[in-house]
């Protein structure tokens, strides 16, 4: 019986984790940071090497996100709770050409 309980918990965890997985694929084209996401984006954060100091616009700007960049980190979110719909497009204009972004964090509707 204990073995069945463990197996049941494993199956539940697997279904649970698949149910709340957000996949975001990013690419950089010129100064545009492009995204493709299977869920809405409610916020984002990433680090850069100083190349993205003028980040603005894109679908984040259209959604009313506040976008702030300083000391090598950019943060974007909405005070009103708006989001960027699932799909693809230009997340933001980086304000310069970046070759590397790192420590990427995206928030979905479930806080992921």
Each residue's pLDDT tens digit, 88-109: 999 999 998 888 899 999 998 7
The 3-state DSSP composition of the chain as helix, strand, coil percent (nearest 5) reads 20, 40, 40
Yes or no: say if 45 and 88 are a contact pair by the CB < 8 Å rule. Answer: no
Yes or no: say if 81 and 35 are a contact pair by the CB < 8 Å rule. Answer: no
Taking the C-alpha atoms of residue 109 and residue 71, their distance in angstroms, rounded to an integer, is: 28
Each residue's pLDDT tens digit, 58-78: 999 999 999 998 889 999 999
Question: Whole-model pTM?
Answer: 0.77
């Amino acid at each position: 019986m204990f073995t069945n309980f463990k197996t049941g918990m494993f199956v539940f965890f697997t279904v649970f984790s698949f149910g709340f997985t957000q996949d975001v694929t990013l690419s950089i084209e010129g100064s545009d940071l492009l995204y493709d996401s299977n869920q809405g984006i409610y916020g984002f954060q990433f680090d850069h090497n100083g190349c993205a100091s003028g980040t603005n616009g894109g679908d984040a700007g259209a959604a009313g996100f506040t976008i702030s960049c300083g000391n090598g980190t950019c943060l974007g979110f909405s005070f009103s709770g708006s989001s960027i719909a699932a799909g693809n497009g230009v997340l933001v204009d980086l304000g310069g050409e970046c070759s590397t972004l790192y420590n990427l964090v995206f928030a979905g509707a479930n806080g992921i």
